[in-house]
Amino acid sequence: MIENISSVNIQENFIRETMPGILDILLIDRTKSTNRAKQNIIWANENYIRYGFKDYSAESQIHPNLVTGNRGQLIVPRSLKSRDIQKERTKSKAEVFTPTWIVKKQNDEVDNNYQDSDLETYVSRTWLEITCGEAPYMVSRYDMETGALIPFRKRVGFIDRKLKRINDEVEDKAEWQRLVEEAFKSSYGFEWNGDSLLIARENLLYTYRDYYYAKWLEEPLYGLFEDIAEIISYNVFQMDGLKYIIPLSEKKEKIINQQISLFDDVDTEERWILKPGKRVKIMNWKTNKMEFFDKGLK
């Protein structure tokens, strides 16, 4: 299990086989879901449409059966995608990934202002990675350019930094878990592409496991994985960062106006309007209530 979970290319088949239900959690879209019905994140790109329009079109939801079984190798990190796919995604969605040394430099600039904070304040600091891709600013499990795993102590994501301090300063397991959950609850990221978003969520989950194992020399219990996965599914979410809506949720609607003249002639006018997309909600962990991401921005 340790060898498998330490790979760069996280296997959805492995998650499904060893942690039943976790993959389902990592695919949930919390904005669209209700207590009665769960909705999943969407592909939001056409990179997989050759496998079937109904299931793999941009607006289709990502379900576990679409990325497991004989499709278990479908989703891979950008560094393992073909050059053609990389170029197409850069061209269509401006998708690029930042080298680790730049991630470190930028996170250092922010982090330097908080080095004197006490542990509780430090891990509770709210931090957001915009257009997060595979979330290297949050957790840097591997180099975005080469795909090489980064040694544990050299990781530079802002969640990495929080968890390192917790590992260094806390010896009580229950307190460790409480602070780690607080670190994840105060860390956010959003992404357009559904496949990258799933990878980002998996990277956060596996990062939790890495720090747990480094501290306690044992694997987390399934329930602990489940708790962290729940937090991740709320905090790392799918969004159009320019409009604060779920990608592709705007819809065109035809409006037909008819007017009757004095001579009983009927004039028909047709026009299209763009109906607003679904505004994204995120969890406010202080109130345990969902709030619109753009609350206070309009």
Tens-place pLDDT, residues 208-224: 999 999 999 999 999 99
**What's residue 3's pLDDT?**
44
| 18-62 pLDDT per residue, tens | 898 999 999 999 999 999 999 999 999 999 999 999 999 999 999
Mean pLDDT of 138-165: 93
Sequence-ordered alpha helix ranges (H) in the chain: 2-5, 12-18, 22-26, 53-56, 83-93, 100-111, 119-124, 158-169, 173-185, 194-216, 222-235
CA 109, distance to chain mean position in Å, is 24
Domain membership of residue 118 (yes or no) is: yes
Into how many domains does the chain fold? 1
| Gap between the Cα atoms of 195 and 96, Å rounded | 15
CB neighbourhood size of 99 (10 A): 13
- Name which of 123, 131, 132 is nearest 158 in CA terms: 123
> Given a cut of 70, is residue 6 above it in pLDDT?
no
Tokens of 64: 């576990």
Mean pLDDT of 193-205: 97
| 165-182 pLDDT per residue, tens | 999 999 999 999 999 999
> Given a cut of 60, is residue 83 above it in pLDDT?
yes
Sorting pLDDT into bands at 50, 70 and 90, what band is 7? confident
Predicted TM-score (pTM) of the model is 0.91
**What's residue 9's pLDDT?**
85
**What's residue 2's pLDDT?**
44
| 240-282 pLDDT per residue, tens | 999 999 999 998 777 777 666 655 665 667 777 778 999 999 9
Residue 152 CA neighbour count, 13 Å, CB half: 14
Q: Are 40 and 59 in contact (CB under 8 A)?
A: no
Burial of 168 (0-12, 13-18, 19+ CB in 10 A): exposed
* Three-class secondary structure of residue 228 per DSSP: helix
Average pLDDT across the chain, whole number = 90
Domain hosting 136: range is 2-246
Domain membership of residue 74 (yes or no) is: yes
Domain membership of residue 154 (yes or no) is: yes
Give me the sign of the Cα torsion angle 66, 70, 73, 74: negative
**What's residue 102's pLDDT?**
95
